Amino acid sequence: MKSLAAEQSADAAVGVLSHFRVEFYDCLYTRADALFELTDAVLCSDGPVTSLVELTLTAEHRRGHGAMYDAVNHGWLEPRRLRRLLAATPLPRAADGRIVLAVDVSNWLRPDAPTSPELLFCHVYGRGRSADQFIPGWPYSFVAALETGRTSWTAVLDAIRLGPCDDATAVTAAQLREVVTRLVHAGQWQPGDADILVVMDTGYDVTRLAYVLADLPVELVGRLRSDRVMLRDAGPRRSSPRGGQPRKHGGVLTFSKPETWHTPDQATTCDTTRYGTAEALAWDRMHPRLQARGPWLDHCGELPLIHGTLIRLKVEHLPGDRDPKPVWMWSSRTGMTGQDVDLRWQAFLRRFDLEHTFRLFKQTLGWTVPKVRDPHTADLWTWLIIAAHTQLRLARPLAEDLRRPWERPSEPRRLTPARVRRGFRHLRVKTARPADVPRPSKPGPGRPPGSKNRRPAPRHEPGKTVKRIETLTEHVRLKQQRG
């Protein structure tokens, strides 16, 4: 028998979930009923989603397969409204109360789709580095809020498809700026709160992003390649008897050469249940040597010094790896204590929870299952998957453990998204269902028998259409040509 407090908590969770479902329905401007029921079919179907047409056989989808295909190809969802709705939902926070965001890219591979436009070559890892491949597909940049502890739950807040003309660093900077702005407007961050922590992997230019987003209440933590070098602060400027400019950079710290390391400003050691002993070294006020190339070509004036904290993390072991390599990270904050350093690398390790979300999207919810041609249709389907995943997260306090006989029991608050999805069909009847009853209709005539398609789809070559200027000489030459 449930207590009164538990019943009130359950009623509140049902109210939050129902509010999201109603607001999500209002975000669907065209084919709203069919798209909403298609999202419910994704949540209530038995087992992984293998095809869109199979979803029309579920009891929650009251329309035919023709209406489903029409909704997917011609439906419209307002992304800005849904983004504001996602930012206003309850979000997980770190132990100190701050919001921790992770940004990463996941690819929707389309290797056999020559008629699909705006495809890029996506890097796919093989079993060995020599087996890596570049396969055509649509890369999507996701931003999600992370939880503390070992979990596979994240709160996806935004997704943007990278196009052939887009610069990944510029798109990521604009995406993070919009996400943080929406969080501030939604009241998730108040003046006086700890800065929002953003963690990212090696594929991002973390120092450039820190410079571009310096006016926001964010702190960036990114992993660096092991072949990088960082420079110490040159200290107070002193004039030389021989004249000339004061030096800008101090000594060089080469990651792969321990003899170049000076005494760290912080050194911490702690025991973990999963990685054994974790040792962290931190050097304060470290910066990279910037050059007038790449994203800094258009920078006016002297290149800035972007100071931060360099962190080296060494763990005793990893699952399946007894001799793991150290991880180098750079944080945009300076003057850290030992406790601050531990909080940063622990938050960075939680970034891998986003990989569980990508796996759930692809293997269970069927994100990359549809063989769509139009990239805008792919964008619509991506938002439907994000809305479905958000409903699973909001239904988490209501779910019961419907485990298989061979599965281990789990606590209600420790259920995975896949286990919450098993019981969503029973939770759905308690929530708001704003979709209207389908109207009677007849199937269309279709293409006349024996007729051929006289308008073949155009073919497109995958890859970038705009080449980024790499050198200052080329940049100056192009500026002179443009006048």
Reading the block at residue 297, the tokens are: 């070509």
Contacts of 409 (CB under 8 A, 6+ apart): 401, 403
SS3 375: helix
Strand partners, 154: 146
- Write down the CATH superfamily of domain 83-235+248-294+302-358: Transposase Inhibitor Protein From Tn5; Chain A, domain 1 (3.90.350.10)
Q: Any idea where the domains of the chain sit in the sequence?
A: 4-77+373-428, 83-235+248-294+302-358
pLDDT in tens, 45-81: 999 999 999 999 999 999 999 999 999 999 999 999 9
Amino acid (one-letter) located at 94: A
Contact yes or no for 48/364 (Cβ under 8 A) = yes
The CB density around residue 404, as the number of other CB atoms within 10 Å, is 8
Cα–Cα distance measured from residue 39 to residue 24, given in angstroms and rounded to the nearest whole number:
10
Contacts of 336 (CB under 8 A, 6+ apart): 265, 266, 282, 284, 309, 344
Contact yes or no for 183/196 (Cβ under 8 A) = yes
Reading the block at residue 49, the tokens are: 């989603």
Burial of 480 (0-12, 13-18, 19+ CB in 10 A): exposed
pLDDT in tens, 305-339: 999 999 999 998 887 767 789 999 999 999 999 99
Half-sphere exposure for 199 (CA within 13 Å, toward CB):
24
Per-residue pLDDT of the chain (483 residues; tens, 9 = 90+): 344 345 548 889 999 999 999 999 999 999 999 999 999 999 999 999 999 999 999 999 999 999 999 999 999 999 999 999 999 999 999 988 999 999 999 999 999 999 999 999 998 887 766 778 899 999 999 999 999 888 899 999 999 999 999 999 999 999 999 999 999 999 999 999 999 999 999 989 999 999 999 999 999 999 999 999 999 988 776 666 666 677 788 889 999 999 999 999 999 999 988 888 999 999 999 999 998 887 888 888 889 999 999 999 999 888 776 778 999 999 999 999 999 999 999 999 999 999 999 999 999 999 999 999 999 999 999 999 999 999 999 999 998 888 888 888 887 678 999 999 999 999 999 999 999 998 888 877 888 888 888 888 999 999 887 766 656 677 667 666 765
SS3 381: helix
The gap from C-alpha 262 to its chain's centroid, in whole angstroms, comes to 35
Residue environment code for 16-27, b if the CB has 16+ CB neighbours within 10 A, otherwise e: bbbbbbebbbeb
